[in-house]
């Protein structure tokens, strides 16, 4: 099933961990509506501009999110978040989303001062915060977030 110009349901639910652990990562109809909204308002627009970008993580049911050590309450679990990656354009993707698109959270995920390792973006249908963060790890390896 096609969910926008570029993605199918298989693309947004794909997970090696789900396959290995036999986790059913199928979204509910409500989660699927959120996924389609995010694809229409953000993902397709990013890919139109950066055709070499790709999904590194999209929908994660609660069981899968726990299995990979995802943040409790992650918007990936509601279909409202996607992680976008590319071989060279992550900073430009981040800046494009920040400047031109609606979002709830935009996170510069790790990397360094010149380029994030990937870009996390979430979008809700209402009450988007336009929160811009940077994910880092402390000396113990625990993730923390700084406001940008």
pLDDT band at 23 (very low <50, low <70, confident <90, very high): very high
> In the predicted model, is pLDDT for residue 1 greater than 90?
no
Q: Tell me the whole-structure pTM to 2 decimals.
A: 0.94
pLDDT in tens, 85-101: 999 899 999 999 999 99
pLDDT in tens, 49-107: 999 999 999 999 999 999 998 888 899 999 999 999 999 899 999 999 999 999 999 99
b/e 76-95 (16+ beta carbons within 10 angstroms → b): bbbbbbbbbbbeebbbebbe
pLDDT in tens, 122-134: 999 999 999 999 9
Structural domains of the chain in order of their starting residue, each with its CATH number: 9-147 (3.30.1380.10)
Report the length, in residues, of the chain.
148
CA dihedral of 64, 112, 116, 60, whole degrees rounded to 10? 10
């Amino acid at each position: 099933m096609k969910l926008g110009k570029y993605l199918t349901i298989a693309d947004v639910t794909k997970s090696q961990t789900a396959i290995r652990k036999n986790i059913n990562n199928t979204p509910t109809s409500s989660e699927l509506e959120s996924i389609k909204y995010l694809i229409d308002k953000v993902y397709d627009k990013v890919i139109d501009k950066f055709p070499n970008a790709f999904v590194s993580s999209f929908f994660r049911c609660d069981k899968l999110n726990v299995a990979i050590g995802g943040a409790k309450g992650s918007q990936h679990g509601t279909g409202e978040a996607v992680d976008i990656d590319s071989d060279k354009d992550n900073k430009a993707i981040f800046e494009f989303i920040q400047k031109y698109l609606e979002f709830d959270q935009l996170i510069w995920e790790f990397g360094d001062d010149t380029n994030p390792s990937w870009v996390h973006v979430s979008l809700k249908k209402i009450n988007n915060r336009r929160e811009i963060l940077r994910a880092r790890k402390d000396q113990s390896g625990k993730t923390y977030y700084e406001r940008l």
